[in-house]
């Protein structure tokens, strides 16, 4: 009896040991190894973030990722030297290898150019499908490309619109300041719509020393379409939100954009820093940002093209401009400003910053010619 009991205990001990052994063995990847015996699929190289162009001597670190069909584990190797110190076209080979030894390769061709333009930052394939389109077809295609972006809260303890604007509208000559959109004033970032402004918010503005603060300006005024709720996607879209000095922000209010010196205007009033108001309720910004304004307005009209909110750019509306209708103008002036004030490097940088958060782009900064393909020219509305 004693021998039988000893033998039974030994069998139980062996079974338990076998269970632990099998469990450990599985943890070491037996299942994975079995899967890999039948894995003949090459890993996929992610090319979506690769650019077509880089600036001469641009300090850029090329990073490429890959995906494997079994466990998403693979290794990328850039076989050639990525360089931006020589103008012209370059091609390098990128290789990806998974744990089963499957190899894929991609020949990446890019150009090094001397002068910046918005299109150089477009990820490969971002605007696929728009070639040959114009008018409403092009507008609809762009809408489907840029809609469904990542939304950030207007105000929050985590990343919010304040944080995005601090980066997007940073003074290139002073990382601690923003540039006021309408005034061009360099304002400390911490003079951000405060209740008790610190002493360093005292600066010269409007011909005197005064407290200067900045807040968030909706280029497409939030009442023009009645998306005033802080949780509304259009309300929080950073592509039409800018850092603006508080006084000039209030002056612009929800006025329509207008050329106040085209010969048909009245009640013209100089508001400082190149900004003007005229007529009953219209505003002309300084020359340096007129094109920026136009491209933001055109972006909004494409991004918000739906049954819920359908924004339209129009010319000289017959309706009372105090109504909360989803329209903005005047389109003839905006089209002219788009040409007269072409895309700047600051605007290109801004588009990149916002893309890094929202993961959508302003097509009219990337590809300015798209404006005419959709809306025509200013002369078409005269």
Burial of 290 (0-12, 13-18, 19+ CB in 10 A): buried
| Spatial distance between the Cα atoms of 380 and 382, rounded to a whole number of angstroms | 6
Q: Which residue has the higher pLDDT, 27 or 321?
A: 321
Residues of the chain with CATH 2.60.40.10: 44-115
Radius of gyration of the chain (CA): 29
Q: Hey, which bits of 102-193 come out as E strands?
A: 103-113, 170-171, 174-179, 186-188
Q: pLDDT-derived band of residue 85, with 50, 70 and 90 as boundaries?
A: very high
- Phi and psi for 340 in degrees, rounded to 5? -70, -30
User: In sequence order, which residues have a C-beta less than 8 Å from that of residue 29 and are 6 or more positions away?
Assistant: none
What's the mean pLDDT in 154-166? 97
By three-state DSSP, how is residue 229 classified? Answer: coil
Q: What is the pLDDT of residues 358-367, one digit of tens each?
A: 999 999 999 9
pLDDT higher than 50, residue 28: no
Query: Which CATH superfamily is 44-115 part of?
Result: Immunoglobulins (2.60.40.10)
248: left (phi over 0), alpha (psi -120 to 50) or beta: alpha
Q: Considering the chain, what is the average pLDDT of its residues?
A: 89
Q: What is the pLDDT of residues 265-275, one digit of tens each?
A: 899 999 999 99
User: In sequence order, which residues have a C-beta less than 8 Å from that of residue 187 and are 6 or more positions away?
Assistant: 177, 178, 179, 180, 201, 203, 212, 213, 214, 243, 245
The owner of tokens 């013209």 is: 268
The owner of tokens 């069909």 is: 69
Cβ pair 340, 284 in contact under 8 A: no
pLDDT at 6: 58
226: left (phi over 0), alpha (psi -120 to 50) or beta: left
pLDDT at 55: 83
Tell how far CA 16 is from the center of its chain. 58
Q: pLDDT-derived band of residue 238, with 50, 70 and 90 as boundaries?
A: very high
**Orientation of helix 345-358 relative to helix 161-168, angle to 10°:** 150
Q: pLDDT-derived band of residue 154, with 50, 70 and 90 as boundaries?
A: very high
Q: Which residue has the higher pLDDT, 190 or 226?
A: 190
What does the block give as tokens for 351?
């588009």
Q: What is the pLDDT of residues 179-224, one digit of tens each?
A: 999 999 999 999 998 888 899 999 999 999 999 999 999 999 999 9
Element (H, E) at 282: strand 282-284
Cβ pair 324, 226 in contact under 8 A: yes
User: In sequence order, which residues have a C-beta less than 8 Å from that of residue 287 and are 6 or more positions away?
Assistant: 274, 340, 341
Torsion from C-alpha of 57, 58, 61, 62, nearest 10 degrees: -90
What's the mean pLDDT in 87-112? 92
By three-state DSSP, how is residue 105 classified? Answer: strand
pTM as predicted? 0.78
The DSSP output letter for 39 is -
User: In sequence order, which residues have a C-beta less than 8 Å from that of residue 343 and are 6 or more positions away?
Assistant: 117, 118, 291, 295, 365, 368
């Amino acid at each position: 009896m004693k021998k039988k009991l000893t033998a039974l205990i030994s069998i139980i001990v062996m079974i338990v040991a076998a269970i632990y052994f099998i469990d450990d063995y599985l943890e070491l990847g037996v299942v994975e190894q079995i899967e890999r015996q039948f894995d003949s699929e090459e890993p996929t190289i992610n090319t979506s973030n690769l650019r077509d162009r880089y600036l001469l001597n641009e300090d850029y670190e090329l990073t490429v990722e890959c995906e494997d069909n079994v466990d998403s584990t693979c290794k990328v190797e850039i076989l050639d030297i990525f360089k931006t110190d020589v103008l012209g076209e370059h091609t390098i080979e990128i290789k990806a290898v998974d744990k089963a030894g499957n190899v894929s390769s991609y020949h990446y061709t890019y150009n090094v150019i001397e002068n910046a333009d918005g299109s150089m930052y477009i990820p490969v394939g971002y605007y696929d499908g728009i070639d040959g389109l114009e008018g409403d077809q092009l507008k609809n295609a762009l809408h489907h490309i840029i809609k469904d972006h990542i939304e950030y809260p207007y105000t929050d303890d985590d990343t919010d619109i304040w944080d995005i604007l601090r980066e997007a509208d940073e003074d290139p000559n002073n990382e601690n300041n923003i540039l006021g959109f309408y005034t061009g004033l360099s304002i400390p970032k911490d003079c951000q719509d405060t209740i008790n402004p610190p002493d360093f918010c005292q600066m010269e503005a409007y011909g005197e020393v005064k407290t200067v603060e900045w807040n968030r300006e909706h280029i497409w005024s939030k009442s023009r379409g009645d998306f005033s709720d802080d949780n509304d996607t259009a309300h929080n879209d950073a592509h039409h939100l800018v850092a603006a000095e508080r006084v000039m922000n209030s002056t612009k209010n929800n006025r329509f954009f207008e050329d106040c010196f085209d010969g048909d205007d009245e009640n013209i009033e100089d508001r400082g820093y190149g900004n003007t108001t005229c007529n009953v309720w219209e505003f002309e910004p300084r020359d340096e940002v007129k094109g920026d304004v136009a491209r933001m307005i055109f972006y909004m009209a494409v991004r918000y093209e739906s049954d819920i909110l359908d924004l339209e750019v129009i010319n000289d509306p017959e309706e009372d401009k105090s109504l909360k209708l989803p329209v903005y103008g005047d389109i003839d002036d905006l089209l002219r400003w788009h040409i007269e004030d072409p895309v700047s490097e600051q605007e290109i940088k801004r588009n990149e910053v916002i893309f890094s958060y929202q993961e959508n782009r302003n097509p009219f900064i990337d590809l300015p010619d798209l404006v005419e393909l959709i809306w025509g020219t200013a002369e078409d509305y005269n």
